[in-house]
Amino acid sequence: MTARLRDGFGRRFEYLRLSLTEVCNFRCQYCLPDGYHCDKDDKPQELSLPELRRLIAGFAALGVWKLRLTGGEPSVRRDFAEVLAMAARVPGIRRVAMTTNGYRLAERIVDWHARGLGALNVSVDSLDPRRFADITGQDRLPEILRGIDLALGLSMPVKVNSVLLKALTDQELGRFLTWIKDTPLSLRFIELMQTGDNGEFFREHHLPASWIENQLLAAGFSERPREPGAGPAREFSHPDYAGRIGLIAPYAKDFCASCNRLRVSSEGQLRLCLFGDGGYDLRPWLRDDEQGEALQEQILGQLGYKAAGHRLHEGYSGSTRHLASIGG
């Protein structure tokens, strides 16, 4: 399948991040510090299983082969296991990944793997159980780490997302490095992004990615050459460590030049950028199986509006109030 999704800046899009729900059962301080709420009359109208199938098939027909299911917390959807199995069967989709907070991961990972989950990202902001509970509102670190071990035991590629937080990550870097010494996972430090809702937290806890880069270089890590088509993460490795480290630095110059992903919200809005203004509603083209080509035309047409880059440096986070609303 040739990639038909290219924009005017030479970027190719073969990767879709699909949010299954805005709902989340954690209360991460930088994302949903008061937990997820919605008015009774304003309940999100999540895409149904058939709508999701048509959407994924439409993107796959345009050359998308990698799909990430995210949220909110994707696993809180009751039909998550069915969505997973359906997505893995869509012709053209070669890899289905998910990003999860790890809730009940240990109980579910064997089933998810059997249904076609090919790669896993789990968020772990602290390796100290008390600190973890403080950041996420959930005292579940040991069971999440057990879930990660089970996934590794199934030979799944595992990435751990850890948001860089001043007065937190800087105290724990040694502990994280000890973890990946013998554990073959990819640890991704994500620079905290300012969103509509988290301005105060951002000002208090933003730690530039350059801080961690300097620490890694001093500890003998070196940056790996970029692979063709790789996304915006920069990868570091060390001959004595089984794991690798990825740095996601959205404030870095040229970060957007390697953007390789498109996003669709849980209600079917195509989001060309995590920090763009609003989305384009694809739902009218998801109602039945007859509209596959029209859906593809809509997606292709919208790509022309993808901007060269976000304006986070100017403190502008578009209409994104928090990342749970669009899928990080």
- Binding span for ligand SAM by CB under 6 A among 3-11, 23-31, 48-56, 271-279: 23-31
Is residue 117 within the footprint of ligand SAM (CB under 6 A)? no
Is residue 161 within the footprint of ligand SAM (CB under 6 A)? yes
- Binding span for ligand SAM by CB under 6 A among 68-76, 137-145, 252-260, 272-280: 68-76
| Cα–Cα nearest to 310, from 262, 260, 274 | 274
Tell me whether residue 120 or residue 324 sits nearer to ligand SF4 (CB atom).
Answer: 324
Nearest 5°: phi and psi at 39? -70, 150
The site map against ligand SF4 for 99-128 (x = CB under 6 A) is --x---------------------x-----
Is residue 29 within the footprint of ligand SF4 (CB under 6 A)? no
CB of residue 287 to ligand SAM, shortest distance in Å:
27
- Which residues, 296 to 325, sit near ligand SAM by CB under 6 A? 323-324
Place of tokens 């080509």: 293
Contact assessment for residue 138 and residue 25, using Cβ atoms and an 8 Å cutoff: yes
| Cα–Cα nearest to 121, from 155, 154, 169, 157 | 157
Contact assessment for residue 142 and residue 129, using Cβ atoms and an 8 Å cutoff: yes
Binding footprint of ligand SAM on the chain (CB under 6 A) = 24, 30-31, 70-71, 73, 99-101, 123, 161, 163, 190, 192-193, 195, 198, 323-324, 327-328
Binding footprint of ligand SF4 on the chain (CB under 6 A) = 24, 26, 28, 31-32, 71-73, 101, 123, 324
